[in-house]
Amino acid sequence: MKDIHHWQQFYIKNGQTTGPVNGEQYFVEDSVNERLELITLPNEWFTRWVADNKVIDFKNTRTWQYNMTERYEEVTGNDWIYMGGEFHPDIKFVHFTNHRNKPHEWSDYEDFNNGSARVR
């Protein structure tokens, strides 16, 4: 809190992330490492997802989802994220990217609400 402007730009200027704002996760990680042993959860547990085309400046949600699935496979070895109304059994946390990404407006959301789709 003593030098907010410095820390808001620190990780961007060091090239660890891109701006205009970003890097808070690195600040938290560095702060934890100053006093504790940082233990992270397995990569397989996490994914980002988008609900529809209005979310990000991507023209095609399916292309974005395909690219995300390829990245997930590279990191985890799992060859799918979401299929047949359910997320991969290893996934425990789904981050719906972007403030306009409203999972409750997602066409598949009702499937989760009525129990025909599953998040494990």
Residue 91, classified by CB atoms within 10 Å of its CB into exposed (0-12), middle (13-18) or buried (19+), is buried
> Is 119 a residue whose pLDDT tops 60?
no
**Mean pLDDT (the chain, rounded):** 83
CA pair distance 106, 45, nearest whole angstrom = 21
Is the predicted pLDDT of residue 85 greater than 50, yes or no?
yes
Work out the pLDDT band at 59, boundaries 50, 70, 90.
low
Q: Give the start-end residues of each E strand in the chain.
A: 46-49, 82-83, 86-87, 93-96
pLDDT attached to residue 44 = 95
Q: Closest Cα to residue 42, out of 90, 94, 97?
A: 90
Q: Report the b/e string of 44-72 with b at 16+ CB within 10 A.
A: bebbbbbbeeebeeeeebeebbeebbeeb
CB distance 78 to 110 below 8 Å:
no
pTM, to two decimals? 0.66
Residues paired with residue 87 on neighbouring β-strands, in sequence order: 82
pLDDT for the residue 115 = 61
The pLDDT tens digits of the residues spanning 7-45 come to 889 999 999 988 887 888 899 999 999 999 999 899 999
User: What per-residue confidence (pLDDT) applies to 33?
Assistant: 94
**39: helix, coil or strand?**
coil
Residue 68 has pLDDT above 70, yes or no: yes
pLDDT of residue 92: 92
Find the helix packing angle between 4-13 and 24-35, rounded to 10°. Answer: 100
Predicted local distance difference test score (pLDDT) of residue 120: 46
Measuring CA to CA, which residue among 54, 29, 31, 51 is closest to residue 39? Answer: 29
